[in-house]
Structure formats: structure tokens, C-alpha cells
């Protein structure tokens, strides 16, 4: 990469990995808060990008990487869901058709421009301008990169969010999973559904038979990652049931909890938000129903010894 001012070195330099011929994963260490993965497919007429980045600097570095591989323009940008780490950089994809589930458009508008305080440490976002998808779908849309079929599918229920989509390349057995999957980081289900995530991973994602998976955060993996994330979701669900029946709040339950091997996952404070969501479902909330997100985030900060959650984007 060049020595341009927007080169990224902290917490680690992003790198590009060709996961199949002309299909690339763009991996941003260390995959923690607001540091996501993207990817792109190169065709004869142009590039399809899967997601943008959270800051102007990171998105410009990503676009530089694409230009280092092909002179062809990014003609299509797919957003896997509405969260800002995957969408705030949309506006820098000049001339591209931005594609997303119809709820991505609404979700971006509801969230608005980037804000960190009081929940995350401050970071330099750049001159972000909201640019929601302007080509939307409700169930699925098929993209073609030359003769290569790419299936963009809404997962059908709330999971990580209420608007998650996957990008599946069946001929190559390559899956871009968005934030349905985290590799090395704690899954986050506060705005989605614990039960829904289990359903989606069990009934939709696993049966695809993907051989290569690009998670929304963390290194490229194989299909074993699905079982790892399912194990965590099941752990959250069972923990929530026991603590709920004992009359503990989500914060109390998290403080008393031995995370075991899951303590090694980054951003472990997400257990608090995940328990808030699981409690709501035990109390009868449907997947994706609105809950008090601000209260959950406040509890996450409290769990983090009263410090804002660390963002190094």
C-alpha cells in the first residue's frame, strides 16, 4: 500500500486476501468495535464491493487497495446490514449503485451520523455523510460478476440486526456472512435476536456448505466458525434463562458469570447487551422487537469498570 496519510497501522494494518479467483477479503485487525471486514469481487466491467468501513480514512484505504488490484471502478456496493462500521463509508463510493435490504435504509436514517459518547471512546471519523442504499430488496437479489452468480439474501428474521443479509457465491462455496459471524470477537445480538441467530445459523447458513467464510470481523475461516458462534449463542440463552429465573438483572448475571473459554473473545462486555436481548425474549419479545438499547449500553459501560468501550477505528 502507499504511504498516503490515510494508511492504517493501529491496531494493525489491513490486508487483502484472495479467497477464490478474483474474490477478495479485506481484513482489518483487530476486528474489535467499529473495525470490520469488507470484500470485493472483480469482473471485466467493474467491481462489486461488500460493505464499506466505519471511517473516512479506513474507507479511503480500502478503496486504495481495490485500485491496487484492478483499475476497474466499483460499480456496485452491497451493505450486509445497517451498522455504521459497514455503512458510514458508503458516500465515498462515487458512481456505485448501493444495494441493501429495505430495512438497512431505514436503520441508517434512524441511527444518523456517527457518535461515540458516552458509550465508546472517541475516534476520528472524518467528514461522514449518510448515503443509504437506493436499490433495496425485501427477500433477495442476484448479482452477476461476469458469469459468476452472487446471491444476496436477507436471512428472514432478526439475528445480529433486523436487516442482516449474506452474500453467497455458490459456484465457489464462498460466503460473506456480515456480522452473523465474528471470528475471535464476541458476537453482538442486542439489536437482533439470540433465538433468531441460532435459527439463522442452523437453518440457513450451515446448510449452504460454505468452504470459505468471510466473517464481519476477524480472520477468514472455514465452516467450523459456525459451530463456534452457535455455541456462544446457546451459552447466552441458557445463562439468561438461569439468571432470569433467579431474579438477577442482566448486569448482575454478567458480573457473576464465568465466561469460560468465551472470556478469550474480544469485547467480552457484549455479554451484557446479549443478556438484555435474551431476557427480553424470555419475557415474550419477538425477535428484533425494540428494547431499551441505551440502558443495555450503559450496563456494558458499567461492566467495563465504568469506562467507555474501547474503539480504535
Percentage, residues of the chain above pLDDT 70: 98
Considering the domain boundaries, does residue 59 fall inside one? Answer: yes
Considering the domain boundaries, does residue 286 fall inside one? Answer: yes
Count of domains observed in the chain: 1
Considering the domain boundaries, does residue 3 fall inside one? Answer: no
CB 180 within 8 A of CB 197: yes
CB 57 within 8 A of CB 28: no
Considering the domain boundaries, does residue 8 fall inside one? Answer: no
Residue-wise pLDDT tens digits, 292-306: 999 999 999 999 999
Considering the domain boundaries, does residue 295 fall inside one? Answer: yes
Residue-wise pLDDT tens digits, 87-108: 999 999 999 999 999 999 999 9
Low-confidence ranges of the chain (pLDDT < 50): 1-5
The whole-angstrom separation of Cα 124 and Cα 61 is 15
Considering the domain boundaries, does residue 308 fall inside one? Answer: no
CATH classification at residue 115? 3.60.15.10
Residue-wise pLDDT tens digits, 223-243: 999 999 999 999 999 999 999
Considering the domain boundaries, does residue 24 fall inside one? Answer: yes
The whole-angstrom separation of Cα 93 and Cα 69 is 16
Q: Give the pLDDT confidence score for residue 140 in this predicted structure.
A: 98
Q: The domain containing residue 211 runs over which residues?
A: 15-303
Tell me the C-alpha to C-alpha distance, in Å, between residue 10 and each of 24, 77, 84, 116, 313.
22, 26, 19, 18, 8
Tell me the C-alpha to C-alpha distance, in Å, between residue 221 and each of 179, 211, 261.
14, 8, 19
Sheet holding 165-169, edge to edge: 140-145, 148-154, 165-169, 174-182, 212-217
List of long-range contacts for 134-138, beta carbons under 8 Å, 24+ apart? 134/97, 134/98, 134/105, 135/97, 135/98, 135/99, 135/100, 136/99, 136/100, 136/101, 136/102, 136/104, 136/105, 137/99, 137/101, 137/102, 138/101, 138/102
Considering the domain boundaries, does residue 75 fall inside one? Answer: yes
The whole-angstrom separation of Cα 181 and Cα 189 is 11
Cis peptide before 256 (omega within 30 of 0): no
Amino acid at each position: 500500500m502507499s504511504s498516503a496519510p490515510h494508511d492504517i497501522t493501529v491496531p494493525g494494518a489491513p490486508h487483502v486476501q484472495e479467497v477464490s479467483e478474483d474474490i477478495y477479503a479485506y481484513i482489518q485487525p483487530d476486528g474489535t468495535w467499529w473495525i470490520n471486514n469488507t470484500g470485493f469481487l472483480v469482473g471485466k466491467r467493474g467491481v462489486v464491493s461488500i460493505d464499506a468501513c466505519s471511517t473516512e480514512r479506513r474507507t479511503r484505504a480500502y478503496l486504495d487497495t481495490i485500485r491496487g488490484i484492478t483499475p476497474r471502478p466499483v460499480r456496485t456496493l452491497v451493505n450486509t446490514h445497517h451498522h455504521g462500521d459497514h455503512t458510514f463509508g458508503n458516500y465515498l463510493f462515487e458512481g456505485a449503485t448501493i444495494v441493501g435490504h429495505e430495512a438497512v435504509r431505514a436503520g441508517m436514517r434512524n441511527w444518523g451520523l456517527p457518535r461515540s459518547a458516552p458509550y465508546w471512546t472517541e475516534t476520528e471519523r472524518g467528514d461522514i455523510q449518510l448515503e443509504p442504499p437506493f436499490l433495496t430488496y425485501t427477500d433477495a437479489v442476484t448479482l452477476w460478476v461476469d458469469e459468476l452468480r452472487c446471491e444476496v439474501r436477507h436471512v428472514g428474521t432478526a439475528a445480529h440486526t433486523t436487516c442482516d443479509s449474506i452474500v453467497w457465491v455458490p459456484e465457489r462455496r464462498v460466503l460473506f456472512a456480515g456480522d452473523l459471524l465474528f471470528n475471535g470477537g464476541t458476537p453482538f445480538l442486542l439489536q437482533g435476536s439470540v433465538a433468531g441467530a441460532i435459527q439463522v445459523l442452523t437453518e440457513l447458513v450451515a446448510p449452504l456448505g460454505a468452504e470459505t467464510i468471510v466473517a464481519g470481523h476477524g480472520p477468514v475461516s472455514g465452516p467450523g466458525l459456525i459451530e463456534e458462534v452457535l455455541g456462544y449463542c446457546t451459552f447466552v440463552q441458557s445463562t439468561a434463562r438461569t439468571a432470569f429465573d433467579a431474579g438477577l438483572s442482566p448486569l448482575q448475571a454478567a458480573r457473576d458469570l464465568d465466561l469460560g473459554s468465551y472470556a478469550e473473545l474480544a469485547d467480552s462486555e457484549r455479554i451484557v447487551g446479549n443478556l438484555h436481548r435474551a431476557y427480553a425474549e424470555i419475557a415474550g419479545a419477538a425477535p428484533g422487537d425494540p428494547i431499551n438499547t441505551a440502558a443495555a449500553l450503559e450496563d456494558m459501560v458499567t461492566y467495563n469498570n465504568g469506562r467507555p468501550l474501547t474503539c480504535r477505528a
